[in-house]
Amino acid sequence: MRDGKRLFTAVYVPKDAHGGPYPFLMDRTPYSVGPYGEDQYPAHLGPSDEFEKGGYIFVYQDVRGRWMSEGDFLEMRPHIDVKKTPQDVDDASDTYDTIEFLLKHVANNNGKVGIWGISYPGFYTSASIIDSHPALVAASPQAPMTDLFMGDDGYHGGAFMLAANFGFYAFFRPQKNPTGPKPSIGFDFGTPDRYQFYLDAGNISNLDTQYLKGSSWLFNDQFKHDTYDEYWKARDLSQHMKNVRCAVLVVGGWFDAEDLSGPYRTFYAINKFNPETPTTLVEGPWVHGGWSRGDGNHLGDVQFNSKTASYFRSDIQFPFFEHYLKGKGAAQARAVVFETGTNVWQRYDTWPPKAAAAKTLYFHAGGKLSFDAPTESKSEDQYVSDPNHPVPFVGYTTDTVPQRYMVDDQRFASYRPDVVVYETEPLTEDVTIAGPITPHLKVASSGTDSDFVVKLIDVYPANYPDPDTSMNGNKRIMDAPPLHMGGYQQLLRGEPFRAKFRNSWEKPEPLTPGKETSLDFTMPDLLHTFRQGHRIMVQVQSSWFPLTDRNPQTFTDIPFAKPEDFKKATEEIFHQKDAASGVEVLVLPQP
């Protein structure tokens, strides 16, 4: 690199030297490019099988400060817009210098480079296209970490994504480099019940001091920076997406539990700063990285009726790189998105689609939900939120954050007294929503801080067929209980919002107990059709544990909250003429 550091890079060249010249296809990762050694080969090369047979030079690189590469590792290394000396390095410059080296030292290349990566490698892909090298002509950031505080892995709505972050940083530890692979020892939670583990642990700081023993500055950085301070702002890659000169295929999953917001933020930023750059957004019914493996024909109990992941790999991803690296085929549409509910692929010239119009699903008394605004002069719902008995995010015991939770049945939550439910009548026609989802809540609390979790749900008709009817009505159920889809409450979107951030992400403010206040926030995009006969449901609650950390409902430094800070609070949701609550969606006209 320009500062003299060496980054470990593995290059795999096709055996058929007469078939070239070949383009480069590169992946930069903090997770190791092993196996190491000239006689060692990975089981697979490239994003999918099509590439192994397609004629590419594959390049894998340990990023700066990880595994066999020299230098210091920084979490989501901040981009430097103006580099004044060779010591001003970032992931854009490291990629640029790597491409320079490859072009000069690897024979039989065609002078063109593509790059792709999923999750953290997706971040490095996004970073690589800023002030991009002229030879870099195609890039695919997939589920890219973009802004950890604003809806990616770290925080959602100001609430810390507890289970996923501790689970990740328990194994993603600081390293002394260069270092080769070593046997990994998993963290011993001592119980398969993560709900109980995190409840017993107390505050977040205890996880650091009692379990990690202060050994991970990476985890410390995550939970101690619990406002949108300069640490996070410097790492928001979207604000730097300028001088992007290559074609970009941004990929995400509608049901990505880790980096759901990153693809949208990346796509919107590239379009904003580089309107002439050919950029495509692809969204399918996938979990984190789900498009890269398996068929993608279902998630949990929900069926998609086609092999969506296989289709993406063969008909979208491979043709994209073939087009820009080899001049074959045609470019993709601006947005290639899978419409859940109807289970069909759609292509749009813009995203969100121009025809989508804003409408609000309003809350009403008696748990009603409709597109009609409330007319009552006084109407509200109340529930008591107890942080010592938080609402679980799944209805079963789990030792992880199961990716299927993003579409899991929510009936278990609707039975709880600390969850309020609003539901439409059965729909008389299909309703298709496309784009971001925006809750507008009028609330009050007896506490000085509270979380408000909003979940948008598709409720199946009571007579919806079961996948297996052989045990229906049979009491002799000796194994796992049969799945009943009638009345299934499929989660579509769920996001928390921490009320102390209602006016500022940088300077939180306490609630005034009993005083009405407005909460307005945005949930990530979706393309979904609620079918005729289904119902639309919204659930509101004040905990979602241990997916998010517990709000003690006292205005305090939450990572260090004391046991006595965790107090019950009475929450009020208003739905009256002068204080209407609801969820704004973008609705497409029906054909």
3-state secondary structure 378-420: CCEEEEEECCCCCCECCCCCCCCCCHHHHHCECHHHHCCCCEE
The conformational region for residue 338 under phi > 0 = left, psi -120 to 50 = alpha, else beta, is beta
Residue 49 CB: number of other CB atoms within 10 A? Answer: 13
Helix (H) or strand (E) holding 519: strand 517-520
Give the DSSP H or E segment for 584: strand 582-588
- Give the CA count within 13 Å in the CB-facing half-sphere of 490: 24
279 membership: H or E segment, kind and range: strand 279-284
CATH class belonging to 9-147+235-348: alpha beta
Pick the CATH number of 357-588 from 2.60.120.260, 3.30.499.10, 3.40.50.170, 1.10.300.10: 2.60.120.260
Weakest-pLDDT range from 166-175, 260-269, 454-463: 166-175
Distance CA 210, CA 230 (A): 28
Is the bond into 352 cis (omega within 30 degrees of 0)? yes
Is cis: bond before 591, omega within 30 of 0?
A: no
pLDDT band at 483 (very low <50, low <70, confident <90, very high): very high
* Percent of residues, the chain, with pLDDT higher than 90: 90
With cut-offs at 50, 70 and 90, classify the pLDDT of residue 403: very high
- Residue 419's pLDDT is what? 98
Coil, strand or helix at 164: helix
Q: Where are the domains of the chain?
A: 9-147+235-348, 357-588
Model confidence at 344: pLDDT above 80? yes
Residue (of 31, 49, 56) closest to 115 by Cα position: 56
The count of other CB atoms within 10 Å of the CB of residue 360 is 18
What's the rounded mean pLDDT across residues 325-331? 93
Query: For all residues of the chain together, what is the average pLDDT?
Result: 96
Residue 17 has pLDDT above 70, yes or no: no
Residue 120 structure tokens: 């953290």
Task: Check pLDDT > 90 for residue 373.
Answer: yes
Task: Classify burial at 366, counting beta carbons within 10 Å of its beta carbon; exposed 0-12, middle 13-18, buried 19 or more.
Answer: exposed
What's residue 148's pLDDT? 94
Over residues 264-284, mean pLDDT? 97
DSSP 423: E
Q: Residue 471: which pLDDT band, with cuts at 50, 70 and 90?
A: confident
Q: Strand, helix or coil at 368?
A: strand
Q: At what angle do helices 217-224 and 162-169 cross, to 10 degrees?
A: 160
**Of all residues in the chain, what percent carry a pLDDT higher than 70?**
100
Residue 496, amino acid: P
CA 371 centroid distance within chain: 29
How far is residue 73's CA from residue 63's CA, in Å, rounded to a whole number?
Answer: 8
pLDDT digits (tens, 9 = 90+) for 212-270: 988 888 999 999 999 999 999 999 999 999 999 999 999 999 999 999 999 999 999 99
Quote the CA–CA distance of 76 and 507 in Å, as a whole number: 23
Please give the Cα distance from 32 to 207 (Å, whole number): 27
Amino acid at 309: A
Residue for token digits 């920076």? 225
- Residue 386 CA, distance from chain mean position: 28
